Amino acid sequence: MIIVGDPAHATSPASGQGASMAIEDAVTLAKCLRDADSVPAAFTAYESLHRARVERVVAQGKRNGDGKTLGPVMRHVLPLILKLRKPNPDAMDWMYGHRITWD
């Protein structure tokens, strides 16, 4: 048996990635089932392909959520920091630019 989606890795709503990850799970698992010699081998391949990415997304979601509970000082300082920093549009490419290659 294998689980996908929220039962495997419920993310903070602040990550905005839970449904995306559930779909990624399904596509990655389908690909592993297509390519492996057996179901157990497919499950092992699925976990080794996908676990590190899922854990990174879940951790990022937690950071996003934690950032929404700032103390009274940071509540005033953070907007200034955000105004001064140079935006890097590629910084979150690892999350939003993810592609699953399917031959």
Contacts with ligand FAD, residue ranges (CB under 6 A): 5-6, 13, 16-20, 22
Least distance CB 16 / ligand FAD (angstroms): 4
Compare residues 12 and 42 and give the one whose CB is closer to ligand FAD: 12
Return the exposure string of 35-49: e unless at least 16 CB atoms fall within 10 Å of the residue's CB, then b. eeeeeeebbebbbee
Least distance CB 60 / ligand FAD (angstroms): 13
Convert 1-25 into a string of H (helix), E (strand) and C (coil): CCCCCHHHHCCCHHHCCHHHHHHHH
Least distance CB 82 / ligand FAD (angstroms): 21
User: How long, in residues, is the chain?
Assistant: 103
Least distance CB 37 / ligand FAD (angstroms): 28
Compare residues 67 and 79 and give the one whose CB is closer to ligand FAD: 67
Q: How far apart are CA 41 and CA 49, in angstroms?
A: 12
